[in-house]
Chain A
C-alpha cells in the first residue's frame, strides 16, 4: 500500500476527534485550544476543530526556528510565521501533527509553545504514527499506526483533498 485516499483520511480524522474528545473528558480538561504544526498538522487540526466544534481559531506553529538542525542545514526558505491567536497560559492545548517519527518536531514545538506562555497541559494527536523515535515522545491520540522501513517516507498532501503518500526516500 502506498497511498491513502481522501475518504479514508477523513475517516481517520473523525476517529481522532472522537478519541480526543474522550481523552479530554476522561482527564477533566475543558475549553481546549487546538494548535497545528505547519503544514500538514495544520490541515488535520482545521478538520479536528470542526469535528470537535471548538470555537477559537486554530493556532499555527511553525517550528523552523526551534529545529535542532540549523547548523547542518541553515535557514529554510519561505517560512510562514507562527501565529497563536490566544494566550496559552493555563490553557489545555491539543497539539496536532501529521506524522510522528523521530519526535524532534514535537520537541521543537513544545519548546516554542513554552516561549509563548505556560499551558496547563498538552495533548498530542497525530494522524500517522510510525516507529523510529529518537526522543522520549509519545502521542496521546493516533489516527493510524504504520510499520515502515527506515528508508520509506510518508507525506501528507493537501489542503484539498488530503492524501497520504508513501515513497522510498531519495
Chain B
C-alpha cells in the first residue's frame, strides 16, 4: 500500500497527512479554504478555538527543528489540544530502542495524534501503517521524501498572491536531490494544475528521473527562472557545500545564488519563497530575501493556520459520518 493509500479512509477522507502525492485538487483546495478560516484566530483576545479540546498531540521529532516543531505546537494549542514534545535527544531510540518498540510504548499512553519528523524516507508511512485505528499521523518531514505541510502552506501563500494556478510558471531552485520540500511542492503544484514547473540546479543536485514527476530540468539559473511567476529557493546544507557534489559555497552562489540582478530574468511581479532557514549569501542574497518580491516572512505566518486546518481535518475524520446536505 502506497503512502497516499494509507492516508485515506474508506470514505476517501484524509485520516493521516503523510504526503501531497495522490491528493486531489479538490481536497487541496479544501485544506486551503479551511486554513483561511483559521487565519483570524490569532487576532482574537483568546487565540483559541475549542475544536481539539481534550485531545493529546505528540510531537515526535527525531531531527532537530525549532521552527517547524514550534509552529505545530502553536497550531495544536490554538485548537485547544494538549501537546507533548519528544525530541531525539530525549527519546529512547538514541539508546537503541527501535522505532517500532517506541511506538508501542507511546500507544499505551493513548495519544490521539503523532506529528513525526524523521531522517529516513518512509518513516511516517511506517508509523501510520502501525498505529491503532483511532490514532492520526502527520508527516513533518521524512528523509528526502516529503514535507507535505510545508508544500500546503506554500500553496496557500501562492494562492494569496497569484490564484490562477494553471497559468503559473514555477521554478524550484537548489539542492533538489536531497529536498523533501521540493518533492512535495512538485506534487502540490501538479495537483493544482500548474503545467510549467522547473527544477533548477547543478547536475549533481538534480536527482535521476525527476522529469517523470512532471518537471523540466535546468542546470543554469537564468534560463530556469526566465519569466517565472514564483521562485522557490531551497536551502543548501553545509555538508553539501564542499563535497563530492559541489566545489564550494562561493561557486554555488556565483552560479545559482539569487540576486536582484539575476531576478530580472523573472517576471516583474515574481514572488520569491524559501522554506527556511535561509543561508544568506549562499542560495539567496540578503537584498532579495529582504526585498519587495520576497514573501518569506508571510510563509512563516501562514504555517500556523495551515497546520491548524490539517490537524482539524484529519482529527475530524474520526467522526462516523458527515450529514448530507
Contacts and interface: CB of A to CB of B under 8 A. Distances in A.
A112 to B, nearest CB: 8
Interface in B163-207: none
Interface string B293-325: 000000000000000000011001111111111
B85 interface: no
Contacts of A81: 36-40
Contacts of A115: 44-46, 48-49
Contact of A73 (B40, B50, B323): B323
Given A65-B49, A77-B30, A116-B45, A71 B313 contact: no
Contact of B34 (A75, A111, A114): A75
Contacts of B34: 75, 79
B303 to A, nearest CB: 17
A79 B37 contact: yes
Contacts of B50: 65-66, 111
A80 interface: yes
A112 B41 CA distance: 11
Interface residues of A, number: 24
Contacts of B242: none
B67 interface: no
Contacts of B45: 115-117
Interface in A93-151: 111-112, 114-117
Contacts of B325: 170
Nearest to B320: A72
Nearest to B47: A115
Q: Which of B37, B313, B325 has the most CB of A within 10 A?
A: B37
A74 B45 CA distance: 26
Contacts of A23: none
A78 interface: yes
A82 interface: yes
A71 B40 CA distance: 23
Nearest to B52: A70
A79 B33 contact: yes
Contact of B40 (A72, A82, A170): A82
A72 B37 contact: no
A83 interface: yes
Given A111-B50, A115-B44, A74 B37 contact: no
B288 interface: no
B278 interface: no
B323 A80 contact: no
B13 interface: yes
Nearest to B45: A117
B51 interface: yes
B316 A70 contact: yes
A136 to B, nearest CB: 20
A20 interface: no
A65 B316 CA distance: 11
A81 B33 CA distance: 10
Q: Which of A62, A73, A74, A83 has the most CB of B within 10 A?
A: A74
Contacts of A170: 324-325
A75 B313 contact: yes
A79 B32 CA distance: 11
Given A74-B322, A83-B40, 15 more contacts: A66-B49, A73-B321, A74-B318, A75-B316, A81-B36, A81-B37, A81-B38, A111-B50, A112-B49, A115-B45, A115-B48, A116-B44, A116-B46, A117-B45, A170-B325
15 contacts: A64-B37, A70-B51, A72-B319, A73-B316, A73-B319, A73-B321, A74-B13, A74-B313, A74-B317, A74-B322, A77-B30, A80-B37, A82-B40, A115-B45, A117-B45
Interface of B: 13, 30, 33-34, 36-40, 44-46, 48-51, 312-313, 316-325
List the 6 closest A-B pairs by CB distance, nearest first.
A74-B316, A74-B319, A65-B49, A75-B316, A115-B46, A79-B37
Interface of A: 62, 64-66, 70-75, 77-83, 111-112, 114-117, 170
